[in-house]
Chains A and B, each alone.
Chain A
Amino acid sequence: MLTRILRPLTLSAYLLLGLLAGCSDQSESFNDQLDRELAEANPKQFLYVASGSCYAGGVATSTGAFTVAAYDLETGNLDRLVIDYNRIAPGDAPIAIQEFDAQNLLVLVENAAGRRIDLVRKDGQSISTYLVNATALSAAMRRMVRLPDSSLLISKSTAIEKISSARSRVTQGANPYVNAPAGACATTATLISGVTTLSNGKIVYTHAAASPNNKIVMVSATGYAAAPDCLTAVAAPVTTALPTDLIRHSSGQLLVSYGSTTATSNFLYAFDANATTNIINNASAAFNDNSIVNGPSAMTEDPLTGDIFVANGNAAFNNIERFSFNPNTRLLTRIGTQPFVSAQLYSRCISDIKVISE
């Protein structure tokens, strides 16, 4: 009886151990496998830099390189030139960039002879025209914001146009989406230098013109149709400061860059923005060392770290600085003792910067 039980048992044990000893398969390295999966889940991020025609608050700027380049987000070293517009059409100046999908960028191109939005592969291997609309893109391009529904808000200096995800122009009446707002929002139809949206879609933009029109303006998420759509307007901290860009930080605060020919009016400010009550207040100087920030022409946030990148368009700078932001103290702290990207060909007159995956 015992033998009848033992025989299959010992045979099973022998077979199992033999199985363990003999298992041989196409096993991959786990560490390499994990690295691959992490890379797929979290593709490497780069700082994409458009060098075109920039606005830096009136300070002298260089002629742009008319390129889009990608910089390593950790080292600040140039990774690759994505596209060189000098080889495409004379006068093409990349003004703004947005991620379109995992493989492509949207690039807003300023050229009085052919303004358009291009679809550019991140590896630079192909370029095609995404949008041409002579009515919507009728004046000097400044900014482009991509909304959650894949529509676009585009500043053309004098107004803000909206382009639907179906690539058609969205108007207010017969006008641009935000056009010549009245009341406290007037007069902001000369140089709309920065555009962003709040959590509920309300549009906030900066306008750069002589005081009192150097201001931050909030309008309805549905654009501007009539006076009630002007929700609030906030003057610049000083009359000589001209807002050049703004971003909504992940903390919820607005960060606004100011440039000026008055050296001490070059700085970065933090504001609270209440999307429900339509109040923009608590202005505080987040960084005001004009030997570091001078003629800022573009800003962006690294969504992973919350760090802020600021491009200096001043011809004597032409670099990019990196800052950490403390939402409690509302202060920006420069990271390192040297610019994140030092002055070089592709950092001349930076018109836009964005942190985008590879």
Chain B
Amino acid sequence: MRRKTIVLPKLLWNRLALFVVALSLFSHSPLHAQRQGREFGVNFGFGLGGSYSVLKGSTDSSSFRGWSPGIEAGLDLPWSRKSGLFISGGIRQVDLTNTSTKSNFVERMEGSSKFAKLGLFVGQLGFGGGISEDTFEIRQVSAISGESSKNIEGTTTLMFINYNFEIDPQFRLTFEGLHQSGDLMGFGFTDIGAMMKFVMLFEL
């Protein structure tokens, strides 16, 4: 079954960025800055982000860009109102397109990354690392070789840093930058991504 390829024009990215700016300013209005610090509790979030992935072989490399929505559930373990640990796990879908400017092929990378994270938060800032189980299918339509599909998978490591805005005692908005790297079946895999997540909080 043929799927429709999503190609984001730069203008759309710029609009998304402006939306992020507006939302972050909104989230810090005095009306919403109700709570100071985190409570012991679980959380569940979902979000949307952008991703830029590179698969590097022995001589050449392939890069992909596109969307990466995801869901994530976690546990906050504060030792004070301002700092503590958090753990989380989730899944991130990727739907990326080869950034090649060549016109003789179109290539799309789809799949998922199931990840587990461990991090430290200090105030609104969080950072940490984790591991990710990645499974991707890369489909190509080429003017030379026709249709083809390859599967690639493996375990990679990730590092992240995020900034959290308390919208409400029950909600949090998180902006996260992610760097993921490792080996996928002999290919060096690197991914940098940015994601905005809307997180629901449940105190225990």
Residue with the highest number of chain B CB atoms closer than 10 Å, among A16, A19, A22: A16
User: Is B46 at the interface (CB under 8 A from chain A)?
Assistant: no
Inside 8 A of A19's CB, which chain B residues have their CB?
52
- The answer, yes or no, to whether A123 is at the interface (CB within 8 Å) is no
Stretch at the interface among B36-44, B75-83, B99-107: B99-107
Interface assignment of A24: CB less than 8 Å from any CB of chain B: yes
B8 at the binding interface (Cβ < 8 Å)? yes
Give the residues in chain A near B131, CB-CB below 8 Å.
Answer: none
Contact digits for B1-27, partner A, Cβ 8 Å, 1 yes 0 no? 000000010100110111011001100
In the complex, what residues of B have CB within 8 A of residue A9's CB? 24, 163, 175
Of B50, B142, B148, the contact of A20 (CB 8 Å cutoff): B50
Q: Kindly state whether residue A31 has any CB partner on chain B within 8 Å.
A: yes
Residues from chain B with a CB closer than 8 A to the CB of A26 are 100
Interface residue? B140 (CB, 8 A): yes
Residues B57 and A37 in contact, CB atoms below 8 Å apart: yes
Whole-angstrom distance between the alpha carbons of A35 and B144 in the complex? Answer: 14
B62 close to A27 (CB less than 8 A): yes
B140 close to A31 (CB less than 8 A): yes
Main secondary structure of the interface of A (DSSP, over half): helix
Task: Return the CB mask of B150-190 against A: 1 if under 8 Å, else 0.
Answer: 10100000000001000000000001010000000011000
Is there contact, CB below 8 Å, between A28 and B17? no
A16, A22, A23, A28: most-surrounded residue (chain B CB, <10 A): A28
| Contact assessment for A33 and B60 in the assembled complex, using a CB-CB cutoff below 8 Å | yes
Interface size class of B (residues with CB under 8 A): 35 or more
Min CB gap A148→B, angstroms: 27
A29 lies within 8 A of B140 (CB): yes
B51 within 8 A of A: yes
B63 in the interface, Cβ–Cβ < 8 Å?
Answer: yes
Closest-by-CB residue of B relative to A22 is B10
Tell me if B199 is interfacial: C-beta within 8 Å of chain A: no
A-B contact count (CB 8 A): 115
How far apart sit A37 and B187, CA to CA, in the bound complex (Å)? 10
In the complex, the answer to whether A6 meets B50 with C-beta atoms within 8 Å is: no
Among B18, B24, B52, B102, the residue within 8 A (CB) of A23 is: B52
Shortest B34–chain A CB gap in Å is 14
Q: Contacts A16-B177, A18-B14, A23-B99 hold; do A33 and B24 have CB atoms under 8 A apart?
A: no
B28: chain A residues within 8 A (beta carbon): 2, 6
Q: Is A21 located at the chain interface by the 8 A CB criterion?
A: yes
Contact of A25 with B63 in the complex, beta carbons under 8 Å? yes
Given A20-B13, A20-B50, CB of A29 within 8 Å of CB of B24: no
Q: Is B116 an interface residue (CB 8 A)?
A: no
Contacts of B64 in A (CB 8 A): 27, 30
Q: Which 3 A-B pairs have the closest CB atoms?
A: A21-B13, A30-B62, A27-B63
User: Could you name 10 residue pairs across A and B whose Cβ atoms are closer than 8 Å?
Assistant: A2-B33, A9-B163, A10-B21, A23-B99, A29-B98, A29-B140, A30-B140, A31-B140, A33-B61, A34-B187
Binding site for A on B (CB under 8 A): 8, 10, 13-14, 16-18, 20-21, 24-25, 28, 33, 50-52, 55, 57-58, 60-65, 98-102, 105, 107, 109, 124, 138, 140, 142, 145, 148-150, 152, 163, 175, 177, 186-187, 192-194
Given contact pairs A21-B50, A27-B64, A33-B55, a sample of 14 additional A-B residue pairs in the complex whose CB atoms are under 8 Å apart: A2-B33, A6-B25, A13-B20, A14-B17, A17-B16, A23-B63, A24-B101, A25-B99, A29-B142, A30-B150, A31-B142, A32-B105, A33-B57, A33-B61
